[in-house]
Amino acid sequence: MTHTADKRTATDPSPHGASGTFPDGFLWGTAFAANQVEGGFDQDGKGLSQADVIPFRKTGDYVDITSLMKATDAQIAEAIASPGAAGYPKRSASDFYNRWEGDVKLFAELGMKSLRMSIAWSRIFPNGDDAAPNEEGLLFYERLFTRLRERGIEPVVTMSHYEMPLHLVTEYGGWSNRAVVGFFETYAKTILTRYRGLVRYWLTFNEINTTLIEPYTGGGIIEREPADGVDPRQAGYQALHHQFVASALATKAAREIAPDAQVGCMLARMAHYPATSAPADIVRAQWDNNMNLFHTDVQVRGRYSGTVRRFWRDTGIQVAMEPGDEALLAANTVDFISFSYYMSLVSSVSPELYGATGGNLFSTIKNPHLQTTEWGWHLDPEGLRYVLNDLWDRYQVPLFIVENGLGATDVLEGTGADRAVHDEYRIDYFRQHLQQVREAIEDGVDLLGYTSWGGLDIVSASTSQMTKRYGVIYVDFDDEGAGSGDRIRKDSFHWYRELIASNGATLEALPATGA
């Protein structure tokens, strides 16, 4: 009896071609971060934040962008001495802080069901260790959340999105200092209490895995030479543990203070494909995926995985934990997983292949089957279906796509009321990714919503560029912060508005004109 391959699996491609609408109550929306959209960096009592010292550095090299996300002591001192916003794009950003009422009107016109946004910690506790919160800061977000709810828009709020008071960075060492856990817990309890009933979806840390990739942006750790003989990654893992503890304490506080609210973790899902079918590459890709997913393992399963514990043994990294830490993590896991997805990556046991193209937060091997964006990021809509199924199968908790979008050099055409941006490429990006989201829902994934990254054009996290535009609404500022600041609806705005109104039924429709 000769063995014959199962003919079904050999010739039958994975099912595709799902059609129809999305689940009732699907939370369509857009997303941005306080430090990239608000501006008003020194208004109404706000303190300097870690983002306010990142200068704009025009660079054509987008393969390794983490160099743009670090801050040295000298850079911070220079920034503190620099008054005003010139040279520091995140200090003025899209001026949402002063234009929010008009922007919320546009969000309502778009028909958004949710707005994923973040609170600037430095508006609430300007120094982080203040004895009392800044009432002006609390009031700003209270008014904003109230207006969003009046417009039928559900706030989905990140407590810390690459933003913490600069004082905690310079005087305490950022998240490397366990004392910051207590300051964050006070901050979390303050906003959970003040916004009880206004906010029903909380995320603790944006892309918590960034702390290992870019310790300054993710963990407020100033770029310095590591002590002799200490693995430079040691500080990142220690800071990350403190953030896991802080996230668990915030989750615990939410259960007590705002029981009607749900708490989610937030991961930059870095899906790794093997460069070849060689078993060594398969195992390497599995390792890389598990080193990304150990973050959600901690926040969803409540414990560190075998993979990361082996990594610590193999590298000699020692993470200091206090008695009770592991019980705290186990007892305070999240209700849902939110994540960002922009592209997929490639893993190989051949190190010379790395560094060939860019990506969100780090460079990777070029995938010969995929095109890339102007910034070198792989364009991989099917990867989103893979990621959704993989996360659902691993955790069986509801998922929420809180970042997905295309950074591109948009061109503003026309003058006055005729100004327009014909961004069919962005509509294509959304359409192809949402078709795969629809497939994943058909596959059985429980997905709460989808908030496209940007909404408005905002300052990019890695390169601090306004001209790396993500929004469905154009913002008339350039990289130096010059311009009218006017908001102009792009073609993608009209297309997305119809898509939301039809709950996804018009996904294959051509871009709407400026109707």
Measured distance CA(214)–CA(412) in Å, rounded: 33
Show the beta-strand stretches assigned E in 89-233: 114-118, 154-160, 201-205
In the window 12-51, what residues touch ligand BGP (CB under 6 A)? Answer: 33, 36
Q: Is 333 in the site for ligand BGP (CB under 6 A)?
A: no
Options 207, 281, 288, 439; binder of ligand BGP; rule CB under 6 A: 207
Q: Is 163 in the site for ligand BGP (CB under 6 A)?
A: no
**Residues classed as catalytic:** 207, 403
Number of residues that bind ligand BGP (CB under 6 A): 17
Q: Is 360 in the site for ligand BGP (CB under 6 A)?
A: yes
Give the number of C-alpha atoms closer than 13 A to the C-alpha of residue 369, restricted to the C-beta side. Answer: 12
Least spacing, CB of residue 377 vs ligand BGP, in Å: 8
Angle at alpha carbon of residue 348, lines to 342 and 351, rounded to 5°: 105
Measured distance CA(134)–CA(124) in Å, rounded: 5
Q: Is 268 in the site for ligand BGP (CB under 6 A)?
A: yes
In the window 90-149, what residues touch ligand BGP (CB under 6 A)? Answer: none
Query: Is the CA virtual torsion 480, 485, 488, 489 positive or negative?
Result: positive
* 34, 49 Cβ separation under 8 angstroms: no
Options 160, 462, 492, 506; binder of ligand BGP; rule CB under 6 A: 462
Only one of the segments 128-136, 191-199, 321-329, 457-465 lies at the binding site for ligand BGP (rule: CB under 6 A); that segment is: 457-465
Least spacing, CB of residue 203 vs ligand BGP, in Å: 11
In the window 432-451, what residues touch ligand BGP (CB under 6 A)? Answer: none
**370 φ, ψ (degrees, to nearest 5):** -125, 145
Supply the DSSP string of 261-308, one letter for each residue.
Answer: SEEEEEEE--EEEESSS-HHHHHHHHHHHHHHHHHHIIIIISS--HHH
Q: Is 407 in the site for ligand BGP (CB under 6 A)?
A: yes
Only one of the segments 42-50, 174-182, 221-229, 453-461 lies at the binding site for ligand BGP (rule: CB under 6 A); that segment is: 453-461
Angle at alpha carbon of residue 456, lines to 474 and 362, rounded to 5°: 105
Measured distance CA(408)–CA(481) in Å, rounded: 18
Least spacing, CB of residue 381 vs ligand BGP, in Å: 17
Only one of the segments 96-104, 167-175, 229-237, 455-463 lies at the binding site for ligand BGP (rule: CB under 6 A); that segment is: 455-463
Give the residue among 457, 449, 450, 448 at the shortest CA–CA distance from 493: 457
Nearer to ligand BGP, 163 or 439 (CB): 163
Nearer to ligand BGP, 174 or 405 (CB): 405
Chain positions contacting ligand BGP, by CB under 6 A:
33, 36, 162, 206-207, 268, 340, 360-361, 403, 407, 453, 460-463, 468
